[in-house]
Structure 1
């Protein structure tokens, strides 16, 4: 299950928090360590990496609108303790630097006082902002009419500073005046009223209804959470969140939805794409331009509109491998007459994809991710294949797990696309930097070994 962070500009708050923290630690250390022989570049890079790793594994930025203040204090203490130890550990290896306990203490105290003040001021400002303006809220519905569901509704209505607006109960088992509609009416209501979060009492739904609701939430970027009861739920991604003393079960966001992971992946994409552009494309492009021009008239590059992250249009770059034609939205087939002689070679070796590293550098693609489909394929299969839209939650990739497992090229049956989507979703739900490196290595191996569907 993939969750989406919607609800207005709340999605920017974590980015603001991260940016402020990095700015504080970056601007502070030159002031306090001046004259100690510290290499500012080395120490700046060291503390940035250290801060990012500690924050990622400690969940420092996992603060939500329903998080109590004590959670903020706990996370601040943990981050401060670990960051202090890592900073002190730097100096024994910096041979030209004079360690000053006083300067280090002043630096760390300044950093965490500034960060703590900013976090608490922002935290309380947002609560007061919601109360005074009614803005920055999330619309919620509850499936089921149980005592726990009623308690949750009361929490939403009494604790307005948390920014929830309760729109109604949906149940097939109750018919009183409190019920807004039946479970069968739920999905239309969610779409019509732009509901953000669905809270579900598992006693209300059978397995088929539950599966259908989870698929609906995936396809429409809705957050779904579960009110605990005795019924078993099969998901590896469950966690418990507490709204004060009220527990709800949430399906976790994947790693690629977390800002630290997004930053790590983006930095890797930038570094990798720059290396490829300088070391490979700098000499490959003139060579390919000559070969392509010698065989056929037309541009060296072929640019095609594709759906990117969140279905945002971008133009995917390739070396032109076909004669100029009017059927660019038609997939390439085996022995396709549109493909030129040089085109057959560069498609077989995937050289035609190399200009997409420009797309990566521009932030439109990633080195590894779900391959961007044609718009005709996107419009067709998004309506018929469950979880298809999940692949659009992340940047498309030059290569991907589906491609290295053999599901690339021409789509001849629905099963081809279903298997491709299955691997795309698995990649998104199980992403790691090591996973990306493994896919890149397998892609290179496949190029030299040859692939049957590379035509």
Structure 2
């Protein structure tokens, strides 16, 4: 089964094309006329040429690109679109004899357009291929149930390994066990594997061996604690204790997801990761170099100690990573204690940084390394994972996605200290709502609102 690119990728690839097509025109003009001062009617040509490229790209089936399209097919699509485009350009230019367009300019523009757009597609192909191999390490799928739905799911996941799926085996009733090395045991065997970290997705296609709803709910909650995506065929959806929000189809089998998670979708994960890399690279290369010397000097002058503060935080799937910040406190031995209002450990400049969130800037390196995202649930302290994981039912679910520098909870007023009654519950509620409704547009909105709140000032920023 082929999976088509979503709208984001079509917009993304088209935007990149336009940048390089316009660059091709500028370079061609410079090569032809030895000047950067472009005449007005050539600017009109630039616009017509660029729009024409977008139209010809879609006629050459760019919208039909699949995840498993090979490089040769991608380049042939591009060449077909290029030929259509150049024929149209030359045909229309020849109709306007009164405008002296240089054919040398058009030749240079055409060659550079083909070269640049082909290069974009080659890079794009290898990025996708590399990401696909990495994704396979993170989506280990098992199916519970020995029936036709199981066989269809097994075939689908084996066939679509390039989408990040790795079929790891079958669980079910022993007396119905298939004659296959993939059969791993009964329901008890599956439960014993939940804490191993070897399972990322479980799909239930048959009734479990016990009719105890209590045991089923314990199993479901244990999946949440271990950040395992849980789904079941529609006939098993009666086991859900919540209204069905999303049904997906895998190999002809309709699967109800316990919790809809757009970021368990391959293309969405890749879109978010590319956005993170671009955004964090911009901050690191164009903002960080100018403010780092100033901040470092002030931190050193105000109190002895390092410039950066680092602390282990739980990330995606509870994996610990070193989270970086500018140091805002005097060196102390109570780093696991959450900052509070008028905290005596905070320096004067530290208070300013915390108020404006400048202390979080080093976390863009965490984003670049892949430990964090620009937007996502804020990574809490390890001690909070242990504390709230036992008392808040949905707390562990927020670790199904990569943590962020800012998040949906933060723009809704839940940042900073969480000691007030219900504060952490509300934060978790917003985090889960973000996970279930993620879009790239929502990330952009959260970033803008975060910047707005930084400028306006927030009462909980201390």
Q: Could you tell me the TM-score, scaled by structure 1's length?
A: 0.62
Alignment match, 1:140: 143
Alignment match, 1:169: 173
Higher-RCO chain (CA-CA 8 Å, sequence separation at least 6): 1
**Whole-angstrom distance in 1 between the partners of 2:80 and 2:216:** 47
**Whole-angstrom distance in 1 between the partners of 2:451 and 2:286:** 16
3-state secondary structure, aligned to 2:322: strand
Alignment match, 1:309: 316
Q: Confirm whether residue 409 of structure 1 aligns to residue 412 of structure 2.
A: no
Alignment match, 2:24: none
Alignment of 1:13-52 (within 5 A): none
In 2, are the aligned partners of 1:138 and 1:197 still within 8 Å (CA)? yes
Q: Deviations over 1:368-395 (max 9, x none)?
A: 1111111111222233323333332333
Cα displacement (A) at 1:304: 1.7
Structure 1 residues 444 and 138: CA distance shift in structure 2, 3 A:
closer
3-state secondary structure, aligned to 1:333: coil
In 2, are the aligned partners of 1:254 and 1:429 still within 8 Å (CA)? yes
**Whole-angstrom distance in 2 between the partners of 1:361 and 1:367:** 9
Cα displacement (A) at 1:334: 0.9
Alignment match, 1:238: 247
Alignment match, 2:385: 378
Alignment match, 1:6: none
In 1, are the aligned partners of 2:228 and 2:400 still within 8 Å (CA)? no
3-state secondary structure, aligned to 2:273: helix
Q: Could you tell me the TM-score, scaled by structure 2's length?
A: 0.62
Alignment match, 1:227: 233
3-state secondary structure, aligned to 2:414: coil
Cα displacement (A) at 1:167: 3.0
Cα displacement (A) at 1:345: 1.3
- Unaligned runs of 5+ residues in structure 1 are 1-13, 27-36, 64-71, 120-135, 143-148, 171-176
In 2, are the aligned partners of 1:198 and 1:222 still within 8 Å (CA)? no
- Greater CA drift, 384-393 or 226-235: 226-235
Structure 1 residues 369 and 83: CA distance shift in structure 2, 3 A:
farther
Alignment match, 1:127: none
Q: Confirm whether residue 353 of structure 1 aligns to residue 353 of structure 2.
A: no
- Unaligned runs of 5+ residues in structure 2 are 18-27, 31-48, 91-100, 130-138, 160-166, 178-183
Q: What is the aligned counterpart of 1:291 among 298, 318, 327?
A: 298
Structure 1 residues 141 and 441: CA distance shift in structure 2, 3 A:
same
Alignment match, 1:199: 204
Structure 1 residues 192 and 141: CA distance shift in structure 2, 3 A:
farther
**Whole-angstrom distance in 2 between the partners of 1:270 and 1:158:** 34
Alignment match, 2:23: none
Alignment of 1:107-186 (within 5 A): 139-142=142-145, 150-152=147-149, 165-169=169-173
Alignment match, 1:452: 459
Q: Deviations over 1:134-169 (max 9, x none)?
A: xx9954323xxxxxx644467799999876743323
3-state secondary structure, aligned to 2:277: helix
- Greater CA drift, 428-437 or 82-91: 82-91
**Whole-angstrom distance in 2 between the partners of 1:93 and 1:217:** 58
In 2, are the aligned partners of 1:225 and 1:248 still within 8 Å (CA)? no
**Whole-angstrom distance in 2 between the partners of 1:86 and 1:165:** 44
Alignment root-mean-square deviation, CA: 5.1
- Greater CA drift, 195-204 or 377-386: 195-204
Alignment match, 1:392: 399
Structure 1 residues 188 and 359: CA distance shift in structure 2, 3 A:
closer
